[in-house]
Amino acid sequence: MKYNFPQVDLPVEMLAWTDVTEDILNLYRQSCRLKTFILALCTEGTITASINLMEYEIKKNDLIILMPGAIIQLNEQIEKVRLCFVGFSSHCVNGINLIQATMGSFSKIWDNPILSISDQIASYFTDYFALLTRVSIATPTSTNTLMAQSTLHNILIGINTLYARRPQNTVTKSRKEEICQKFVQLVIENYMIERRAQFYADKLGISLQHLSTTVKQVTGRNALDIISQVVITDVKARLKSTDMTIQEIAYSLNFPSASFFGKYFKRYVGISPLEYRNA
């Protein structure tokens, strides 16, 4: 039986807070799937968490980057913990092409959502979160979509710079984790022209069954779900932030027709591309 994780979104375009404690964190003791983009910084203590079914220990000066679609569950609290964060609603995020905005770091962020940063960089983020908190809490409804998207875009540029400067990860990965990481990287490189799982299995030099089983075991999702997530992320951004027609978007992503594209989009989103654009 397929299990659907509860989905979490924000009621406003942007929400920031500088003092998130156990009382709030306890709401995430059960697994949930985020519809939002969240950037958080641990300012005190240590806590363990499951992100995309992988276990992490989060400690002071750890930056947590959570993409839409991430599955998160907070686990053991080792000591008193505090976080500051900023989050952006799905409506806001859908107007940003996360793949293009993060350039070469999209797969790195998904694969390694925790970044340890220096005291100096952490102080910059703390000050920035404080500023965003004043904006979003004082008059939450005044933060319009364009303002929130501009803020998110600037944050993504900064995150991309941090990942570009990050030393090569020396942690030994299992063969299954390596396959899954390479698969995601290949999808990001080729999703505009290829959506067949068989194509990626061939690229990796393994059977389709091997790819499907490995991706399912590592991520809890099937290969087509991951491919479609990347495609739909791009499509949503084009629908909300460009003047491209439905047909132009369909052809730019190598769909055989606007009709086929519409059915593909509705299968994963639940409404037609035009309905989504006008929503």
Residue range 22-54, pLDDT digits in tens: 666 666 666 677 889 999 999 999 988 888 767
For the chain, the domains span 7-165, 175-278
CATH number of this structure's domain 175-278, picked from the four choices 2.20.25.90, 2.60.40.1180, 1.10.10.60, 3.30.930.10: 1.10.10.60
Q: Could you read off the pLDDT of 62-97 as tens digits, one per residue? A: 999 998 877 787 776 667 889 999 999 998 998 888
What is the distance between the alpha carbons of residues 168 and 165, in angstroms, rounded to a whole number?
Answer: 9
What is the distance between the alpha carbons of residues 8 and 154, in angstroms, rounded to a whole number?
Answer: 23
Q: Give pLDDT, residue 106.
A: 78
What is the distance between the alpha carbons of residues 52 and 121, in angstroms, rounded to a whole number?
Answer: 26
pLDDT at residue 1 is higher than 50: no
What is the distance between the alpha carbons of residues 92 and 4, in angstroms, rounded to a whole number?
Answer: 23
- Is the CB of residue 42 less than 8 Å from the CB of residue 81? yes
CATH number of this structure's domain 7-165, picked from the four choices 3.30.70.600, 2.60.120.280, 2.40.50.140, 3.40.50.2300: 2.60.120.280
φ, ψ dihedrals at 173, nearest 5°: -105, 150
